[in-house]
Amino acid sequence: MGRAAVGTGIWEASPGQRLWAAVSRTRRTPSNADRTVQFNVGVMPGQGLPILLATKGNPNFRSERLVQLEVGHRIRLGSTASFETTVFSGSYDDLSTSEPFQPTVELTPAPPHVLAGAMLDNLQTARASGVELNARWNPLQRWEIETSFSRLHLTVDPDPASFDALAATVDGDAPKHQWHARTAIALRPGVGVGASIWHVGMLHRLAVAAYTRVDAHAELRLNRRMNAVLVGQNLSNGNHVEFASQAIFLTSRLPRSARLDLRWEF
């Protein structure tokens, strides 16, 4: 859950040109997992009592906070095209870290053991900045082309009191750049085709390589209520990894695929 407050201003510099700015402030309300849930990782032998390793929530865990400034410019190029630029900068405070806690002896659940491990805390800040570019063009009334590019720069700053060795590497979870282009055309009433291409930069900490993906689709209206849609995904290569996490042993791999959808509107 989160709470947000936004202030926005728009200035029409000319009939085809607009400038805008926005300041946003939001909080992520701590969940039960952040404050009370304990995950037992495993048991290891100790000097006397066995040691139960766990990660657990912190009853004093605070809301993570973000303040972000965005400035944008949009211009129409004639009646068929537009170009938009957005620059943003955000400051994150009280971000989550994983800190060791003082080991304690527990009698339950049996047998008696030492509880040790890590507890959540709010010992990290971060700053994100970047730019987003978006262009649209309609060469014909029935044909549209759109392309976008984004560049992200993320820096993290763990508190000197933090013992979380992975906190400073969190920026490796996000690609520094990505771009996307798509086109769609209505060949005649009830018949349309389209294609999209994505390029996503490398996820360094997760060791996920950069990839380029091509999708395509064709749609045919069979009658007033039913459409048939043929979709092809990842046509540019056999398969690629889009996300990986050693912490939860999860790998998201997208194979080349095709499917036929029937859509009934009522």
pLDDT of res. 150: 97
Give 223's DSSP letter.
Answer: S
Does residue 248 lie within any of the structural domains?
yes
Does residue 180 lie within any of the structural domains?
yes
pLDDT of res. 246: 56
Strand-pair category, 211-221 with 257-264: unpaired
pLDDT of res. 163: 93
pLDDT of res. 80: 94
Does residue 214 lie within any of the structural domains?
yes
Does residue 234 lie within any of the structural domains?
yes
Strand-pair category, 143-158 with 177-188: antiparallel
Domain boundaries, position 206? 176-266
* Residue 71 near residue 21, CB atoms below 8 Å: yes
Residue-level length of the chain:
266
Average pLDDT, consecutive stretches of 10 residues, N- to C-terminus, the chain (266 residues): 71 92 94 92 89 94 95 95 97 95 91 94 95 97 96 92 84 86 95 96 84 95 93 87 64 86 89
pLDDT of res. 221: 94
Does residue 198 lie within any of the structural domains?
yes
pLDDT of res. 109: 85
pLDDT of res. 68: 95
pLDDT of res. 148: 98
Largest CA distance in the chain: 80
Does residue 211 lie within any of the structural domains?
yes
pLDDT of res. 2: 59
- Positive/negative CA dihedral, 55, 28, 23, 135: positive
Dihedral of the alpha carbons of 178, 233, 195, 85, in degrees to the nearest 10: -20
| C-alpha to C-alpha distance for 183 and 190, rounded to whole angstroms | 17
Does residue 258 lie within any of the structural domains?
yes
* Residue 85 near residue 132, CB atoms below 8 Å: yes
Domain count, the chain: 1
